[in-house]
Amino acid sequence: MQEAPLVSDEIRDGYIWKVQNCPICEIAPTQFVGKRGGPSHRENLGIETDIWRCGTCGLIFPNPMPFPVGGLGQHYEVDADDYFQAHDKEGKLAAADSLITQAEGLLGRVGKLLDVGVGRGELVIMAKERGWGAEGVEPSEAFADYAEKRTGIKIWRQPVEDLDLPNDEFDLVVLSAVLEHLYDPDQVIKNLSGALKRGGLLYLDVPNEKGLYFLVGNAYQKLRGRNWCVNVAPTFSPFHVFGFSPGSLKTLLRKYGLEPKIFNVYGGTSLVPTRGGFMGSVESYASRLVTLISKIGSLGTYIETWAVRK
């Protein structure tokens, strides 16, 4: 088995590389998954990193971890409309309305919402229309300015793991497509659990990196004689730095008194963009087929959960 790298705090290629323990279990990872990015990517995107898995909870992450020298702005300080140009605005509003409806059904009332990773503010807009109080968290200055102007709500502009949030304040915290981007998921969930009222809800969704897409993708790389993997994306868009599975996510939530009330693994859409050439077409087609098959069982590409603070 390949040994975990020991060199830490090296600065190269725009990143500070730090030796990383599993933030959930606080132990070094023991299972090498593969290399990701740069020459270990089909389009040479990003910088090559070593990806590892915690042998206890199954969390996947780079070791050493590449922290951007310029902070989160190095990845996300772009115009909000440019970043979200591929997003369906009306579809996002409809999804936000559906999520708030489900929250009201589970809580039996309206309440106060904290939206972590506000983006363009669709969730907050729908919540306010339905009588909710709302605040948001958005460390990207560009996104925060956009959301604040659009929604008029209070925006916390620091990373959520650094926030001094009030205790027992919120009825609902939403962490949608965010946790996989953050560099200290353990502290994030600790902070958000404390900010929830007892009986309040945390909604989150993340990719399921133990899903069929990732299992087949990694097997395909080995079949081609590569030590690559398809898990996470630490140095290229979408900048996923942690990869969760049902086991690791439930372990993290329960660590901080959050009990999953609804836990759903679903197929979603293919993660592989179409590219030119015969092999590119084959890979894209295979990815869509695997995603379709994964919708049948519990090996879907995504996880969503509603967890209750006990």
pLDDT at 1: 45
54 located within any domain:
no
CA-to-CA distance for 247 and 260, rounded, in angstroms? 12
Is residue 227 in some structural domain?
no
- Asked whether residue 221 is assigned to any structural domain, the reply reads no
DSSP H or E segment with residue 194: helix 185-195
Of all helices (H) and strands (E), which one includes residue 61? strand 60-62
CA-closest candidate to residue 113, choices 174, 59, 55? 174
Q: What is the CATH number of the domain that holds 158?
A: 3.40.50.150
Is residue 140 in a domain? Answer: yes
First to last CA, the chain: 41
Our CA angle for 46, 161, 106, nearest 5°, is 105
Contacting residues for 118 by C-beta, under 8 A, at least 6 apart: 124, 136, 137, 138, 143, 144, 147, 151, 155
104 located within any domain: yes
The whole-number pLDDT of residue 37 equals 98
Q: Where are the alpha helices (DSSP H) in the chain?
A: 73-76, 80-83, 89-107, 122-129, 141-151, 185-195, 212-223, 246-255, 278-294
Q: Please, which residues bridge with residue 306 across strands?
A: 203, 262
> Is 255 among the domain residues?
yes
The number of distinct structural domains making up the chain is 1
Q: Contact 288/301 with Cβ under 8 angstroms?
A: no
68 assigned to some structural domain: no
Residue 216: inside a domain, yes or no?
no
Q: Token digits for 23?
A: 């933030």
pLDDT in tens, the chain (310 residues): 454 555 678 999 999 999 999 999 999 999 999 999 999 999 999 999 999 999 999 999 999 999 999 887 788 766 656 655 555 677 888 999 999 999 999 999 999 999 999 888 899 999 999 999 999 999 888 888 888 988 899 999 998 999 999 999 999 999 999 999 999 999 999 999 999 999 999 999 999 999 999 999 999 999 999 999 999 999 999 999 999 999 999 999 999 999 999 999 998 665 655 555 666 666 666 666 766 666 666 789 999 999 999 9
Encoded amino acid at 180, one letter = E
> What are the C-alpha distances in Å from 194 to residues 137, 187, 257, 262, 308?
15, 11, 9, 20, 12
Segments forming the whole domain that contains residue 102 = 76-209+243-309
Residue 30 is predicted with a pLDDT of 96
CA 95, 96, 98, 99 torsion-angle sign:
positive
Which amino acid is located at 201 in the chain? L
Residue 84: CB atoms within 10 Å: 17
What 3-state DSSP class applies to 193? helix
Q: Which residue, among 60, 61, 29, 66, has the nearest Cα to 46 in the 3D structure?
A: 66
